[in-house]
Amino acid sequence: MSDSPNAEHARGALSAEWLVARIVVVGGIVVAVAAIVWFGLLQPAMLRRETLARIQLHQTETVRAVTQLCKTGLSAAQSFGIVPPYGQLYGHNIYRTNVQGRYVCVASTHATRYLVAVDLFCRNVKDRRCVSLYSVTQANGAVLYQRRS
pLDDT at 3: 62
CA dist., res. 138 & res. 146, Å (int):
12
Residues 6 or more apart whose CB falls under 8 angstroms from that of 107 comprise: 70, 74, 77, 83, 87, 88, 89, 90, 113, 114, 116
pLDDT at 137: 94
Average pLDDT of the chain is 85
CA dist., res. 40 & res. 36, Å (int):
5
pLDDT at 60 over 60: yes
- 100-144 pLDDT, tens digit per residue, is 889 999 999 998 999 999 998 887 777 778 888 999 999 898 999
Q: What pTM was computed for the model? A: 0.63
Domain boundaries, position 20: 1-149
Residues 6 or more apart whose CB falls under 8 angstroms from that of 39 comprise: none
Domain count, the chain: 1
Find the largest Cα–Cα distance for the chain. 117
CA dist., res. 112 & res. 23, Å (int):
80
Sheet architecture: strand order including 131-138: 88-96, 102-108, 113-120, 131-138, 143-146
pLDDT at 1 over 60: no
* Average pLDDT estimate for 43-72: 84
pLDDT at 143: 93
